[in-house]
Amino acid sequence: MFDEITTFSFPTRILFGCGAIDRLPLCFTETGVRKPLIVTDPGVRATRVFDRVAGVLQSAGIAFEIFGKVHGNPVEDDLLQSAALYRDAGCDGVVGLGGGSSLDVAKAVPVMARHQGPLAELEAQAGGMDRINGPYHPTIAIPTTAGTGSEVGRSSVITSRALGRKIIIFSPWMMPQRAILDPELTVTLPPALTAATGMDAFTHCLESLTCPTFHPLCDAIAIHGLELIIRYLERAVTNGADIEARGNMQVAATMGAIAFQKDLGATHSLAHPLSTVFGMNHGLANALCLPAVMRFCEPVARQHYARVATMLGAPADSLLAVNGVEKMIARLGITAGLRNHGIPRESLESLSRQAFEDSCHRTNVRPCTQQDLLALYEQSW
């Protein structure tokens, strides 16, 4: 026991609270950024949230460029185009504004702006981490959802054109220098997206907790993240203007991303192809697949699931945790069943092959074969 050396670190500086966005110019001063590129998506670009951020920069006399074309599930062209704009405009820093997709692209822009080869070379499981050699210009992450926690993560998930699937780009050099968590920027997020992104955070915390990698700090963070989500997610879905719920969900999402330094599990391997092939929201995909994965893992995750059951107000019984999570998902307004979200049954076999290529299931608490993943799709269908 304890014969393997493990390292722990949580370095991102986080500014949290209502009105924290007003500190953005100070973040530029501290990190030496003079001309940032704002990376966002068309939906956020059209909102008052974008106007609020742009107004802060304009009032401070800070010039900036905008890339506002990030897809809901980011694709290679999002990164190539934003990196080209970054280089051509002479930018020296990036602001990621939006959900996990925009933040993932933003974190990869400084890397891709310098990288001479194709995106596929940067895939983590293909040795891409060795090709990412910083330091790079700073990234400042401003989430407008409470789900991915990408604002404190050191990875990006982007669909590779050459490989036809999502790839993970990973390096400590990609971690944002600043994260601004302003609950007021999330109050207009619709209930369905609030629910889906919240379930993404829940899945991060749960799969991190059950991941067999040794990381006790992440375990403690994951446990409290689950407690916050169980306490506040339904409130945030019911009343988007509930600042207490919105703020605590932002914190929980960030905690989930810190926790999955340990790694994730099979739910994420199932979810990634659903986004790549069918464009399904990542958090929704997690929510639809999580109950089946929990039942698969329950024989070896009983201790952790029993703790979750008590968080849900039930006796410390692992099967009650599975049932409780299913009921919570239903209360959030998420209709169970992949078939009810446009996923044809005949696609499950090919989806399972892509899921098996995904690296997340390799750290699942219970090992998975491709046939296991196919069975989990079928149970989720």
Domain ranges (residues) in the chain: 13-185, 188-380
Tell me how far apart the alpha carbons of residues 296 and 17 are, in angstroms, rounded to a whole number.
39
User: Which H helix or E strand runs over 220?
Assistant: helix 216-238
Q: What is the pTM of this model?
A: 0.91
Q: Which residues contact 278 (CB under 8 A, 6 or more apart)?
A: 342, 343, 347
How far, in whole angstroms, is CA 204 from its chain's centroid? 8
Residue that is written with structure tokens 């299931």 in the block:
361
> Quick check: do 13-185 and 188-380 share a fold?
no
Q: Do residues 48 and 187 make contact, with C-beta atoms less than 8 angstroms apart? A: no
Calpha distance 324→310 (Å, rounded)? 10
Q: Which CATH architecture has domain 13-185?
A: 3-Layer(aba) Sandwich (3.40)
Token pair in block for residue 48: 């008052």
188-380, CATH topology level: Dehydroquinate synthase-like, alpha domain (1.20.1090)
Contact predicate 282/100, CB 8 Å: yes
Q: CA 237 from chain center: how many Å?
A: 19
- Give me the pLDDT at residue 116, please: 84
Query: What are the 10-residue block averages of pLDDT along the chain, 381 residues in total?
Result: 58 89 94 96 94 96 96 92 96 95 95 89 85 92 93 90 85 93 94 96 97 92 97 97 95 94 93 93 96 97 96 95 96 97 96 93 95 97 96
CA 168 to each of CA 33, 68, 154, 242: distance values in angstroms, whole numbers, following the listed order:
27, 22, 10, 34
d(CA 358, CA 377): 15
